Structure 1
Amino acid sequence: MTPERRDDGSAAASVTAVISTLHSKVDEVTAQTQRVLMDEIADLRGDAQLVQLMRDNVAANIDTVFSAIRHGIPVEHVEAPTAALEYARRLAQRDVSANALVRAYRIGHQVVLNILLQEVRDSELDAQRQLDVFDEILGVTFRYIDWITQQVLGVYQNEYDRWQQSRNRMQAAGVRGVLENDDEIDIDAASIALRYPLRRVHLALVLWCAESGDQDELTTMERYVHQCAAALDAHDGALFVSADRLTAWAWIPVDPEHSALPPVPDDSPLRVAAGRPLPGVAGFRRSHRQAQLARAVLIAAGSPSGRPVSAAEPGLLLAGLAGGDLGEARAWVAEVLGPLATAGAGEERLRETLRVFLRAGSSFKAAAGELHLHFNSVKYRVQRATARRGRPITDDRLDVEVALLLCHWFGAAVLTP
């Protein structure tokens, strides 16, 4: 029966007649809509299971909105189709963007509207009634799309957050398994599980922040790791896991020759310690342990936030090993350096000059170049430092170098007030 013959004189009856005619073709409408979505949105081209769920989602939405129009059901009283909610959850679990989900509803709406428009044109209704019918259909379908996208986006976001938290926990457990298991592991299987290339050269980072009221410390840390990965041209991507709310671990696959980290913003509470770039699973573990040791030095020294500190910096790891007991370290430094271990700007300049001089092989010229001082200035400061110590450095030079190293890295923590 044509819409004209079923028309009782009202636009609503004509709308019902048009929708009833098209409802018998719902499988065809569903198939056409799905084809367009697959062509237009590459992210939706999943496996057979996901494609079938997409079809069920499209069919359920078309059937729901057609029923609402036919029976005059207010859109706000319509329940979201189960298939639509499940499809949103499945996309969230597969890291398909929310934007792809919203585009699917907009494009699908356009496809169905074009089919409806053609159905109205093919009807025996007069031109004015066709306009009235399509205007009614347009209004209902737009309200439905607005309503349903709110519903599915809410479900998508909840599932995405839940899924990310679950996956982060699993990833963190996998990382701890690699770090704590010294036995041989299946490198390829572990790489797939962690979504990180364990056969590469790894630069490990330990990041931490002081607690703030913003409660977005992990976001700050993860953003910095992504900046590092981009700066180091790490196409395989970095691995980031949270150790707790204020601490995170990261690994970046790098070229060992180009592993300098970008600076931390001056106003950032972020602090960063890095290991050396090392290869394979053993390097993954060792670089992390180095970063942890570097962090322990910075925390013990009470260093303010600032530039990233690397375990590759001369003497840092030795300081970390020697500074396990700061009380004993402080007493030993005082025994070795005497009054030169006293806190103060003058003594600090003398200690730093003597440290660089000894590291440079007792070369006044080399030390002057590194310190950007005149040759005679370096010579004068070395003599002053030796005099301040109270005895020459020839007999226990190694002890002096280590003591100066501890002063350099730990600062006031090992100095005499």
Structure 2
Amino acid sequence: MTAHLVVQFGERIPELPRDPTLVDLLNGSAGSNLETLAHLLHGHVPVDEIQAPAAAVEYARRLAQRGTPPSALLRAYRLGQQLILRWANDEIARRVADPALALQTSHLLTETSFQYVDAVSEDVMSAYQTERERWLANRSAVQRETVEALVRGDRLDLAATETALGYRLRQHHLGLVLWTAGAETGLADSERLLARLGQRLGAAGHPLFVPRDRDTAWAWLPIGRSAEVDTAAIAEVLASDADGIRVAIGTPEAGEPGFRATHLGAAAAHGVVQLGQLDAPVVSYAEPSVRAAAMLAGDLGATRRMVARTLGDLAHDTDAAARMRETLLAFVEDRESYVATAARLHLHKNTVKYRVDRAIEARGKPIGEERLDLELALVACRWLGPEVLRAGAGVG
């Protein structure tokens, strides 16, 4: 019966591991469960003292370590009960001539098997959950220490590092920082969103997800041999499934050095969003203005002074000044084309000209004077906001 059950489990529950070690443990679990059930049927063990056999508990723990869905374990118990009752009823029909006795025997077997499965499945599921929590906590600690060493640039054994992370370093990576606004299920939601992003981008394996605190996580998507990432696809997923989660993205990089570089880009983009108190669902380090803002955030004192000196009255934290800065930055980036700027901002060309003229007047200098400082100052205001602006009325 044990051999029959193990074969059926393997054929009908594909989530159960097939490697020899786990199959041996499954044999032990099935056999010990049958033996304990037999003791119960013989009256050797009272119903209220039923406990899961040690082999069954150990098998549940191993499944927890492998990340096998708990539903697969419960299904094995339900399927096992079905197969045992089918065999037993066939034996009753063959051996018991008295219909009343046959019915009574079948009823006894059915009731006893339900009592057994109810009690034992509760034990093994408790063992599974306890082991899963312990295993994840330990693995999370190891992963976090390993990731921090990689980000610091420590020299590590590549094979041992990949084993500790459960993630392959010899490929291209896309680093991400995911964070929420304090939702209780924030990390779980972020991990699910990461999985959806991986599926949408055709990731070459399982993502690496490392919680940093209750709201924030570092993550890496394995993108195989390709250094190309469809940012439009990322935006689509976030627009439909983000549910309050914000994402900062690095640039695709290769190998162990790339693992660090793509994370540093994502972390820098995250820092820009946090400093600027922006509510954008996604920000990418691939955007040149984000990279510039990240460097400008490295010395906020110098950046504030540059913004004040370069922008004059445009450096005030008002809605009117913000509109003029936005229009002037687009105008500079579009090579001082009123038509292109109007198309980008969805404004009339005359509105663009009016705002640009007012911005130049508020600045007190023509666009060509200190042009590089002008563009950097406008980028700093766009991304870093109140951190580099001056309070006060300014331009109206």
Helix, strand or coil: the match of 1:323? helix
Instruction: Name the amino acid aligned to 2:382.
Output: H
TM superposition score normalised by structure 1? 0.84
Helix, strand or coil: the match of 1:415? coil
1:341 maps to what in 2?
315
Superposed, which structure 2 residues align to 1:377-392 within 5 Å?
Answer: 377-392=351-366
2:346 equivalent to 1:372:
yes
Report the Cα distance in structure 1 between the residues aligned to 2:229 and 2:52, rounded to whole angstroms.
55
Superposed, which structure 2 residues align to 1:212-251 within 5 Å?
Answer: 212=183, 215-251=184-220
Helix, strand or coil: the match of 1:315? helix
Query: Judging changes above 3 Å, is the alpha-carbon distance between structure 1 residues 184 and 241 closer, same or farther for their aligned structure 2 residues?
Result: closer
**1:392 offset after TM fit, Å?**
2.3
**1:56 offset after TM fit, Å?**
1.9
* 1:291-349 CA-partner distances (Å, limit 9, x unpaired): 11111111111223x32011122311111111223344223311211112122222222
Instruction: Name the amino acid aligned to 2:370.
Output: D
**1:224 offset after TM fit, Å?**
1.8
1:24 maps to what in 2?
none
1:209 maps to what in 2?
180
Q: Percent identity?
A: 38
1:175 maps to what in 2?
147
**1:289 offset after TM fit, Å?**
0.7
**1:41 offset after TM fit, Å?**
2.6
Helix, strand or coil: the match of 1:241? strand
Question: Is the Cα–Cα contact under 8 Å of residues 232 and 259 in structure 1 kept in the other structure?
Answer: no
Instruction: Name the amino acid aligned to 1:101.
Output: L
**1:407 offset after TM fit, Å?**
0.9
2:122 equivalent to 1:153:
no
2:261 maps to what in 1?
286
Instruction: Name the amino acid aligned to 2:166.
Output: R
Gap runs ≥5 in structure 1: 1-28
Instruction: Name the amino acid aligned to 1:415.
Output: L
Query: Judging changes above 3 Å, is the alpha-carbon distance between structure 1 residues 336 and 60 closer, same or farther for their aligned structure 2 residues?
Result: same
Superposed, which structure 2 residues align to 1:69-88 within 5 Å?
Answer: 69-71=41-43, 73-88=45-60
Superposed, which structure 2 residues align to 1:38-187 within 5 Å?
Answer: 38-71=10-43, 73-123=45-95, 125-181=97-153, 183=155, 186=158
TM superposition score normalised by structure 2? 0.89
**1:72 offset after TM fit, Å?**
6.2
Question: Is the Cα–Cα contact under 8 Å of residues 293 and 320 in structure 1 kept in the other structure?
Answer: yes
Aligned length: 385
Report the Cα distance in structure 2 between the residues aligned to 1:133 and 1:373, rounded to whole angstroms.
85
Report the Cα distance in structure 2 between the residues aligned to 1:204 and 1:128, rounded to whole angstroms.
69
Report the Cα distance in structure 2 between the residues aligned to 1:300 and 1:274, rounded to whole angstroms.
16
Instruction: Name the amino acid aligned to 2:389.
Output: L
Helix, strand or coil: the match of 2:167? coil
Query: Judging changes above 3 Å, is the alpha-carbon distance between structure 1 residues 348 and 81 closer, same or farther for their aligned structure 2 residues?
Result: same
1:353 maps to what in 2?
327
2:173 equivalent to 1:198:
no
1:316 maps to what in 2?
290
Query: Judging changes above 3 Å, is the alpha-carbon distance between structure 1 residues 56 and 44 closer, same or farther for their aligned structure 2 residues?
Result: same
RMSD of aligned Cα (Å): 2.4
2:394 maps to what in 1?
none
* 1:131-161 CA-partner distances (Å, limit 9, x unpaired): 2222222211221112211111111121122
Stretch moving more, 218-227 or 262-271: 262-271
**1:202 offset after TM fit, Å?**
2.0
**1:118 offset after TM fit, Å?**
3.5
Helix, strand or coil: the match of 1:416? coil
Report the Cα distance in structure 1 between the residues aligned to 2:19 and 2:56, rounded to whole angstroms.
18
2:388 maps to what in 1?
414
Report the Cα distance in structure 1 between the residues aligned to 2:206 and 2:23, rounded to whole angstroms.
29
Helix, strand or coil: the match of 1:248? strand
